[in-house]
Structure 1
């Protein structure tokens, strides 16, 4: 197991280097930047700013400078917000993590429970109802679903706040602040659950249907084991193996959040900053945020590989 993890770690080094090169070239070769988009600047002042921020240097020179700064933990400087990118992301990214992590706990739990029950009762009334609800929830555009929930629960019923993270002008502390933030979390969390739980439920259902037809499940039942033991201890553990792969994409999702959902609900997260930086062509922020997500994706896949090898020792033998 130690050698397996070491090989995977060594494979990430060239992958990270190539990822950084691809991200830099993608944004560096994009026409225009924050300075070009500022129509109030004179040509002389724009040239001065480009020289100050090193935007007049050759492409490879800029890349090596950016890479050397990255190795020192510096993600760059935001031209729009006039603060370091790492400081900017630190202000907002944990709000996205809070929203996405709570939603993930709920939709993974719901998908697991509903997917297992549906696989045990395939083509039953429950299975058909679940399928209809899943496809109905997945068919709604994100922005429309957000606005619909705001209309029902915030505007018509006045049960929940319209958006934001706290009430306007609020200075609540302690438990009162927790309750206030929790109330603002309900609607965006419901949206993320409705959008994510459906596809995950289908994954669990399909994986369980494949596993419960296998010989080892029939053997476990023939040995006289209780159905609950057969399903939870034998079938479910093996059905989770393909699902582990999906965990590699959950880690960056915890920090990137849902851009549209955060924007509609005015949630102060990384998605909100991403939209603003994209509109202003603040490429240092976009490069730093994209690289951060790429690193999390690689790390998530590494964790998924380790979990897969732990759950199925054959992976370690073949790798």
Structure 2
């Protein structure tokens, strides 16, 4: 097991290097930059700023410079916010991580529970109702679902705040602050859970249906074991194997998928500033955030490999 994990960790470094090259040159070859987007600058001032920020150098030189900065933990300098990218992301990414972690726990738990119970009773009224609700939730565009929830729960019923993370001018502390943040999280969390849980529920249901048809499950039933033991001890472990592979894409998918949600709910996260920097062509911030998603993807795949090896010993033996 130790050698298996070591091999996977060593593979992370060339993968991350390749991802950094792809990310940099995609943005470097994109026409225009932050200086070109500032229409109020004179040609002389534009050339001066490009020389100051190193934008007049060849792309390969800028990539090597950026790579050297990355090796020292420096993601560059935000041209729009005039602060280091590391400081900017540190200011907002933890808010996104709070939102993503709550959503991840909720929709994985709900998808597991609903998918397993639907697979145990296939083609029943419960299974058909779950299928209907799952496809209904997946059919809503994210912006429409956000606006619909805001209208229902924030405008019409006035049960929840419209957006933001805390109320304007709030100075709450302690548990009052926690409850205030939790109230502001309800609508974006509900939106992301509804959008993400549908497809995962279908995966769990399909995987459990295959697991319940295995010979080992039929043998366990023939031995007279309780149905709960058969489902959760024998079938569920086999049913989780195909779904574990999805784990590597869940966390980066939440960060990238929450961009529109954070913007509509005015949640002060990394996805919120991503749209603003995209409009301003602030490529250092865009490259830093995209590299952050790449790191999350690589780490997620590593965790998925470890979880897969723990669930199926044949993987780590090979």
TM-score range, shorter chain: over 0.9
Deviations 1:222-252 (A, max 9, x none): 1111110111111101111111111101232
CA distance in 2, matches of 1:208, 1:16: 34
> 1:256: Cα distance to partner?
4.1
Q: Tell me, what secondary structure is at the counterpart of 2:35?
A: helix
Which residue of the partner structure matches residue 24 of structure 1? 24
Please tell me the root mean square deviation across aligned C-alpha atoms, in Å: 1.0
Which residue of the partner structure matches residue 231 of structure 1? 231
Whether 2:172 is the aligned partner of 1:179: answer no
Q: Tell me, what secondary structure is at the counterpart of 1:36?
A: coil
Residue pairs, 1:59-98, within 5 angstroms: 59-98=59-98
CA distance in 1, matches of 2:254, 2:120: 31
CA distance in 1, matches of 2:183, 2:257: 18
Which residue of the partner structure matches residue 265 of structure 2? 265
> 1:84: Cα distance to partner?
0.3
Instruction: Tell me which moved more, 298-307 or 247-256.
Output: 247-256
> 1:50: Cα distance to partner?
0.7
- List alignment gaps of at least 5 residues for structure 2: none
Which residue of the partner structure matches residue 10 of structure 2? 10
> 1:73: Cα distance to partner?
0.3
CA distance in 2, matches of 1:143, 1:62: 37
Which residue of the partner structure matches residue 247 of structure 1? 247
Which residue of the partner structure matches residue 162 of structure 1? 162
Tell me: CA distance 1:255–1:140, structure 2 relative to 1, closer, same or farther (3 Å): closer
Q: What TM-score comes out, normalization by structure 1 length? A: 0.98
Residue pairs, 1:1-319, within 5 angstroms: 1-253=1-253, 255-256=255-256, 258-318=258-318
Q: What TM-score comes out, normalization by structure 2 length? A: 0.98
Deviations 1:81-122 (A, max 9, x none): 000001000111111111111111111111111101100111
Asked if the contact 2:255/2:271 (under 8 Å) is kept, the reply is no
CA distance in 1, matches of 2:65, 2:294: 20
Deviations 1:135-191 (A, max 9, x none): 111101111111111111111111111111111111111111111111111111111
Instruction: Tell me which moved more, 249-258 or 192-201.
Output: 249-258
Asked if the contact 1:118/1:205 (under 8 Å) is kept, the reply is yes
Instruction: Tell me which moved more, 75-84 or 293-302.
Output: 293-302
